[in-house]
Structure 1
Amino acid sequence: MSTCKRLLLVAHAPSPNLARLRDAVLEGARDSEIETVETVCKPPLQAGPDDVLAADAVILGTPENLGYMSGALKDFFDRTYYAVIDDKQGLPFAAYIRAGRDGTGTKRAIEGITTGLSWRPVQEPLILQGAFQDSFVDEVRELGQAMAAGLDAGIF
């Protein structure tokens, strides 16, 4: 039997729609077909270095706030960065951004920090742009499922 792997979801969800997105990621990641992955979800202000050190992959979720990631996600990186930089190089990650505008500033900020950490993106950040759409829920559910399935299959 395979060893259980851990997928960490760090998602800032201060609104009902952002909570829907977080919950959809979890639903996808916890698909019954995925047998060897435990998914842990923490808000950014509660997640820390120990959570990242225990993770085999990470999904980051944030709204775009004033053209940047949420302050809570930035705080997570501020508290975590130096504590994990040596031990988690190459950590597979994905991100979704709920952007009222274009999301490019948020994407650039996440890419800058994760590049500094030497984390490995498994796909381009998913930017959910404009007015909220129910299709966003399906997109992030698929993201969660793909990340967990990739871990389950040993792809990353």
Structure 2
Amino acid sequence: MKKLLVVAHAPSPNTLKLREAVLAGTRHPSICEVSVKEVEPLHAIAKDVLECDAIILGTTENLGYMSGALKDFFDRIYYPCLEEKQGLPFALYVRAGQDGTGTCRAVETITTGLRWKAVQAPLVCRGEWDEDFADQCQQLGTAIAMSLDAGII
């Protein structure tokens, strides 16, 4: 059984909808050999990362940067996971009130340092709230879980 970790900051009802949509996507009925673990960024520890085969990261855009909760997660897991998890497949989604550029750049900088492998371009849900954001996040969850299940990532 492969393990998918979801570490996503959800400080509002809408960002919670996004995280729940990602998780719903990972439960697609055709996915058989993937277990999913969801951990809040402030509670996620290095062991969670060390035990996973892929990770989905979610964050809000805060002043053109990732959430403090996700940054704290990276600060705590960086060195314990640096050597062990090189090449870890990951995907990112961002709930951005603006354009999400700074947030994506900040996550890319850290994940590049960790030598993780982005398996798709970041999903940026930008601007005013749109119900389609949840559908996009569900598709993200399904795509990553199916790819892990199929051995593509």
Scaled by the length of structure 1, what TM-score is found? 0.97
CA RMSD of aligned residues (A): 0.4
- Is 1:117 aligned to 2:128, yes or no? no
Stretches of structure 1 lacking an aligned partner (at least 5 in a row): none
Moved beyond 4 Å, runs of 4+: none
| 3-state SS of 2:80 partner | helix
- Mapped to 2, the partners of 1:58 and 1:32 lie a distance apart of 20
- Is 1:42 aligned to 2:39, yes or no? yes
- Mapped to 2, the partners of 1:132 and 1:53 lie a distance apart of 34
Q: Could you tell me which of 88, 93, 97 is aligned with 2:90?
A: 93
- Is 1:142 aligned to 2:139, yes or no? yes
AA aligned to 1:142 is: Q
Deviation at 1:33, TM superposition (A): 1.0
Deviation at 1:96, TM superposition (A): 0.2
- Is 1:105 aligned to 2:102, yes or no? yes
| Deviation by residue 1:52-84 (Cα, 9 ceiling, x = unmatched) | 000000000000001000000000000000000
Q: Which residue of 2 aligns with 1:151?
A: 148
Stretches of structure 2 lacking an aligned partner (at least 5 in a row): none
Q: Percent identity?
A: 59
Deviation at 1:111, TM superposition (A): 0.2
- Mapped to 1, the partners of 2:20 and 2:28 lie a distance apart of 12
- Is 1:21 aligned to 2:18, yes or no? yes
Deviation at 1:32, TM superposition (A): 1.5
Q: Which residue of 1 aligns with 2:128?
A: 131
- Is 1:31 aligned to 2:36, yes or no? no
Deviation at 1:145, TM superposition (A): 0.3
- Mapped to 1, the partners of 2:92 and 2:151 lie a distance apart of 20
Deviation at 1:37, TM superposition (A): 0.2
Scaled by the length of structure 2, what TM-score is found? 0.99
- Mapped to 2, the partners of 1:144 and 1:5 lie a distance apart of 15
Q: Which residue of 1 aligns with 2:63?
A: 66
| Deviation by residue 1:68-116 (Cα, 9 ceiling, x = unmatched) | 0000000000000000000000000000000000000000000000000
- Is 1:11 aligned to 2:4, yes or no? no
Deviation at 1:135, TM superposition (A): 0.4
